[in-house]
Every structure is written in C-alpha cells, then in structure tokens.
C-alpha cells in the first residue's frame, strides 16, 4: 500500500513539503492517512536492536511495577489517579510491548502509543526522582517517540516543527535575512531611549554569544530588544551569530534525532566560527536541554560539552546582579504576591533552583514571594512541556493537565507568576485564558528593565545635554 501524501515515514526536507503539510488545516488529512499507514515491522525491530542500549534494557528489566512513580506524575493525579496514567504502566504498555513482540505491532497499536507518548507524558523526568531504582520514564518515553517518528506516527504539528529545523535550522520559517533584519530593526527602534544600543552580528572573540528561541524574532521581537538593553546596561561585550542563533529543538519533542543533530551542529558551528568566551541562551528550558544537556551527545562531542561554556539566562542574570553589573532600585522591587515557575529542563535537569531564588532575593520585596507547593526540583511540570502545548489533537488533555498548575498557583495567592521558560510562559498564559484565575505572568527581562538602575552615561540627553 503506498504511503499517504500528507502522512508518511519520510522526514520533511524541503520548503515545498512544509507548505504542503501546512496547507492541511489542523492536520485533518494527515491524521486520516495515518490510519492507513503500514508499520514496517522489520525496520522497527532492526532499529531497536541497533539503538537500544544497556541502560534502557536494564530499566525495563528491573522495574518492579511498585507504583511509587504514580504520585510523582501530575498527569496521573489530575486524571483521577487512573491506573493507566501510572508512569511505569505507560512505558511498559507501549515501548515494553513493542520489545516483547519484537516489533510485531500494527497501526492501531502505534496510534495508541503515539497518544500515550505525546498526551500522557511531558518527559519532565519528575518520576525518576522518586523511583527507588532511578528509572527515568521520561528518557524512555523520548526513545519511544523516536521509534514512532521513524514509522510516521507523530503529531502533525511536531512533524512540521521537525521539518522547520531541517529546512530553516529553526523551529519556525525565519530565514537568515529575516533574523538579521529583525536585529537591526530592534536596535534602531531603541535609539531614542537607549542611544548607542547595538545588537552586534557576527562579532568575533566577544565575551558573550547570545542564542534565542525562534519565536522571539518571529512573534516577540521585543524580547530580543530587552536582552540587548540588559546587556547594554551591564556593559557586556556580546554578539549574536547570523547563522546558528536558534537554540530550541522541536525536533527533540518530535523524536527526529537526525534533525536534532543538524540543529545543534548549526549552533556549535557558530560558536566555533565566532570564538566567544561563553554562550548565553535565552529564557527557555527545552532550548537549554537541547543545546547544553543533550546536544553534545547528538553532535558526537567526546567530552559531552558544547564548544564553549554555555549557560542559561537565569545564570547570567544572577551573576550580573551578584557582581553589580545590574543594580536594582529597591523602591521598584515587586510588591505584589508573586510566585515562581520552576522549569523542569533547567531546574530539575540542570540544578538552577537556588540560582533562581538568588534572583528573586534582589527583585522581590521581602514577604511577597509565595512559593508553590511543591517547588524547586520537586515542582510539577507547567502542564504543556514536551511539545504538549502545541498539539491541537490533544488540546483537551493538555487543558486538563493545566489544572495541576492552576491549583498550585491559586494556593499561593499570587497575582504574578515569573516564568523564565517559553513553554511554561505559554502554558500559564493558556491557563489564565482557559480558567480565568486573575493572574499576570512574565519573563525576567521586562521585570528587570522596570527596576534596574540606569547609569547616567547611558541615559538619553536633551538638547542641553541633560539626562
């Protein structure tokens, strides 16, 4: 049986193929064709034999099905403690079953596995913290996603997202010209308020190379401007690359491992070309995971490290406040009940919980920080991580998943949620739109700009030369 025009096992590698898939409104034809997609059982089993390493085999073997992972999973809790939402059950009934059957599974099974992999797990890795054997279901679910992607069973939006990375080396259709023009535009727009501000492009041997999320130049260019303003105030010697500026990886959410490799190699090539002392990534959790945590292994780097030290934006902000590069006006600190959303990918997987609290100690008036319960590395996923936010087919499940975060926020009494992560920011925005609980939400950058002390020499001057 020939594969469908919209849904097939081939990765998207051309702009024409992207446009064709985008023309399929909400993936209707894509999912219709998926129902007829044949599983290549021989290829599936061969792939498992070649790629499944001893760690994954050991985890599946030693899992005692004890159920201690159950209460660690917010999707189990929010779905009325349904036994089918227990993390160990989710992985054994999908990946475990594929292995038990040596790849001899059918279309209906693979579509069910797709639903489990993308609507019943955000790969937040919280369950691994509570497993007595240290089994990480999130890692195994990521592996399952890769197998499903290779057979064509992947949500429509993520097939497109992975294709964007292959074609544009960005999660959205932002060309090099689009990117550099946006940088120039944002720098020009700031001149009245920030004379002399620049967004340097391809400056070699700078102290900092800055990378961002494609959503910023595409939809939120003010975020790029805010980053430039804060670097300007801090007196940093920085640059952005013309190529390799995009840090995120929807391909990671999709399970397209080849696209993951292509994406991160593009970033690393920019680092090696411009030779910065270090790299700073934007306020995004999965972008950090893709370039700093997982990326070196995708790129085959033997030391498991990026080409230069690579830190999250939270780390730079804490450092800038600690060293006095950014000084806060104490009269402008946050004086409303505020809480902080700990992103799984840089708090649980990169240990930045206390770094984030250091920032809060500078910008929040004492007594106004109301922590969620649980918090820090024990915090629950925002409800939209792992690609969950962007999948229309599973939107009802995602909206229900937001209830955990809604209730956490309500219990704090906070009116503002600080969220230095794009996925968390989106989920909290959608949470407010869906449940109307009366909160505001923000990245760090706009909050810092409102309260930072601007040195006199950086202030705009009037005709008499006064600030």
- What mean pLDDT is predicted for residues 307-312? 98
CB 455 within 8 A of CB 194: no
Whole-number Å distance between alpha carbons of 300 and 312: 22
Q: Mean pLDDT for the chain?
A: 96
pLDDT at position 73: 97
CB 390 within 8 A of CB 172: no
Residue 106: pLDDT over 70: yes
Whole-number Å distance between alpha carbons of 357 and 364: 10
CB 347 within 8 A of CB 288: no
pLDDT at position 467: 60
Residue 465: pLDDT over 80: no
Query: Which single residue is written with the structure tokens 């806060």?
Result: 328
Q: Both tokens of residue 424?
A: 């968390």
State the DSSP code for 281.
E
User: In sequence order, what E strands does 261-383 have?
Assistant: 278-281, 310-312, 338-340
- What mean pLDDT is predicted for residues 454-459? 94
User: In sequence order, what E strands does 336-466 have?
Assistant: 338-340, 416-418, 440-442
pLDDT digits (tens, 9 = 90+) for 17-59: 999 999 999 899 999 999 999 999 999 999 999 999 999 999 9
Whole-number Å distance between alpha carbons of 288 and 348: 12
Classify residue 306 as left (phi > 0), alpha (psi -120 to 50) or beta: beta
pLDDT at position 466: 64
pLDDT at position 3: 76
211 beta partners = 281
Structural domains present in the chain: 39-153 (1.10.1060), 168-322 (no CATH), 327-451 (3.40.50)
Whole-number Å distance between alpha carbons of 188 and 186: 5
pLDDT digits (tens, 9 = 90+) for 54-96: 999 999 999 999 999 999 999 999 999 999 999 999 999 999 9
Cβ burial, residue 111 (10 Å; 0-12/13-18/19+): middle
Residue 250: pLDDT over 50: yes
Strand order across the beta sheet in which 440-442 lies: 338-340, 416-418, 440-442
pLDDT digits (tens, 9 = 90+) for 135-189: 999 999 999 999 999 999 999 999 999 999 999 999 999 999 999 999 999 999 9
CB 217 within 8 A of CB 240: no
Rg of the chain over Cα atoms, rounded to whole angstroms, equals 23
pLDDT band at 198 (very low <50, low <70, confident <90, very high): very high
pLDDT digits (tens, 9 = 90+) for 367-405: 999 999 999 999 999 999 999 999 999 999 999 999 999
3-17, 58-72, 227-241, 425-439: lowest mean pLDDT where? 3-17
Residue 463: pLDDT over 80: no
Report phi then psi at 211, rounded to 5: -120, 155
pTM of the model: 0.96
Report phi then psi at 161, rounded to 5: -60, -45
* More confident: 161 or 465: 161
pLDDT band at 284 (very low <50, low <70, confident <90, very high): very high
Residue 1: pLDDT over 60: no
């Amino acid at each position: 049986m020939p594969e469908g025009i919209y849904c097939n096992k081939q990765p998207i590698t051309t702009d024409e193929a992207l446009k064709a898939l985008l023309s399929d409104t909400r993936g209707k034809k894509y999912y219709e064709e998926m129902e007829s997609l044949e599983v290549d059982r021989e290829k599936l089993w061969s792939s498992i034999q070649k790629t499944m390493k001893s760690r994954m085999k050991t985890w599946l073997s030693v899992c005692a099905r004890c159920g201690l992972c159950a209460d660690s999973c917010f999707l189990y809790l929010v779905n009325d403690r349904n036994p089918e939402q227990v993390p160990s059950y989710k992985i054994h009934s999908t990946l475990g079953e594929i292995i038990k059957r040596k790849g001899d599974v059918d279309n209906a099974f693979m579509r069910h596995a797709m639903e489990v992999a993308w609507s019943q797990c955000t790969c937040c890795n919280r369950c691994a913290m509570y497993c007595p054997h240290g089994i990480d279901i999130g890692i195994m679910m990521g592996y399952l996603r890769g197998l499903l992607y290779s057979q064509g069973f992947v949500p429509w939006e993520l097939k497109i997202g992975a294709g964007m990375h292959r074609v544009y080396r960005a999660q959205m259709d932002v060309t090099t010209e689009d990117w550099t023009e946006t940088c120039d535009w944002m720098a020009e727009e700031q001149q009245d308020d920030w004379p002399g501000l620049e967004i340097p492009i391809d400056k070699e041997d700078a102290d900092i190379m800055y990378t961002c999320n494609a959503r910023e130049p595409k939809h939120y260019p003010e975020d790029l401007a805010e980053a430039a303003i804060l670097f300007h105030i801090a007196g940093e010697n920085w640059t952005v690359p013309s190529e390799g500026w995009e840090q995120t990886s929807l391909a990671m959410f999709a399970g397209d491992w080849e696209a993951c490799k292509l994406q991160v190699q593009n970033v690393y090539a920019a680092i090696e070309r411009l030779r910065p002392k270090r790299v700073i990534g934007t306020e995004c959790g999965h972008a950090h995971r893709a370039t700093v945590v997982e990326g070196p292994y995708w790129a085959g780097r033997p030391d498991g490290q990026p080409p230069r030290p690579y830190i999250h934006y939270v780390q730079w902000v804490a450092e800038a406040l600690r060293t006095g590069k950014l000084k806060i006006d104490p009269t402008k600190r946050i004086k409303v009940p505020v809480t902080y959303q700990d992103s799984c990918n840089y708090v649980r997987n990169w240990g930045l919980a206390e770094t984030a609290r250091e920032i809060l100690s500078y910008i929040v008036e004492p007594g106004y920080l109301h922590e969620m319960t649980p918090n820090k590395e024990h915090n629950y996923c925002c409800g939209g991580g792992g690609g969950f936010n962007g999948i229309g087919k599973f939107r009802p499940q995602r909206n229900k998943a937001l209830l955990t975060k809604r209730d956490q926020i309500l219990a704090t009494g906070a009116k503002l949620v600080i969220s230095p992560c794009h996925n968390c920011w989106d989920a909290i925005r959608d949470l407010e739109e869906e449940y109307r609980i009366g909160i505001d939400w923000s990245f760090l950058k706009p909050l810092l700009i409102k309260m930072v002390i601007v040195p006199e020499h950086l202030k705009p001057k009037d005709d008499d030369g006064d600030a």
